[in-house]
Amino acid sequence: MNVREALSVVRSVVNDLFVVATRELRTVIRTPALVALAGVYLVSILAVAWAGTGGSGGFIPLTLDLLTFTEVLIPLLALAFGYRSILDDRLTGELDMLRTFDVSRIAYIGGVYLGRAIVLVGLVVVSLFAAGLLVPVLTADQPTFFAQNQAADSGIRFVRFVVFAAGFALVTLAVALAVSAVTRTLRTAFALATTLAAAFVVGIDTTLIAGLASGVLPSESVPLLLAASPNSAFRGLVLAEAVGAIGGAAVNAGSTPLNVVGLLGWWVLALAVAMWRVWPTVVLETTVSADAHET
């Protein structure tokens, strides 16, 4: 394959990807349940910000107020946005139709992911920035921090929190696409998505605490184990890079590089699983056909 042919292939994949992404954008916007869920998320974020900054607070206290809230809601939101995305196309036969048009798995998965990620990340970012706007409006001239921080309470730290939340949303959305790709029924997809949500929110952390308490897990392995959980890795990044120190004491947030690697690992693995399971490989199909012919 020469350079011109390679560029033509790349151009075709990119065009298909954006076509699929545009379709996904329209699908999300036209789905009343997802629109309602987005509205509930926005109102909830603003309600927490309003309650936390009314008369006392700042950007760092607001970050601490929203941290646990986003840590729980973002995985639920991402799984709701993505767990049916590929499965619905499979059940309606649209996935088979796309294959007849020679749409590559990279273009299809990339388009589904991009289209839904635009809406999800946009919702997360807009909601958190809207919450941040309440700080200068509602915070008193002399705020009394319920979380004392020796570092300067600045909007830059809150922006870091928003960036980490957006990245966390992208990772959990990739996991949702993997769930949608590996399942074959809505009931199975919902059950697997619910199980993963529970594992992310409480399961992995609870197992870690139990292992440390029982002595099964050595304390030296804590940074690595924290990085292995998407929620713990996200929390560690926020505490280390957006919060810093609380009450003059450093926060045990694990290792920032390990947390970044952990989130990237989940993201790459989830998208790889989605691309692998979205439809059988050509090699597998050819082998099966050849075996059937010989029989």
Three-state SS annotation for 120-155: HHHHHHHHHHHHHHHHHHHCCCCCCCCCCCCCCCCH
Mean pLDDT of the chain: 81
Percent of the chain with pLDDT strictly greater than 70: 76
pLDDT score for 219:
65
> DSSP class of residue 83?
T
How many residues can be counted in the chain? 295
Query: Residues 241, 256: contact at Cβ < 8 Å?
Result: yes
* Residue 13 scores a pLDDT above 80: yes
Structure tokens at 66: 């929203």
Structure tokens at 212: 């440390």
Burial class (CB within 10 angstroms; exposed 0-12, middle 13-18, buried 19+) of 12: middle
> At 283, is the pLDDT very low, low, confident or very high (cuts 50, 70, 90)?
very low
Structure tokens at 147: 């979380």
Percent of the chain with pLDDT strictly greater than 90: 39
pLDDT score for 290:
43
Query: Residues 165, 241: contact at Cβ < 8 Å?
Result: no
Burial class (CB within 10 angstroms; exposed 0-12, middle 13-18, buried 19+) of 214: exposed
pLDDT score for 23:
94
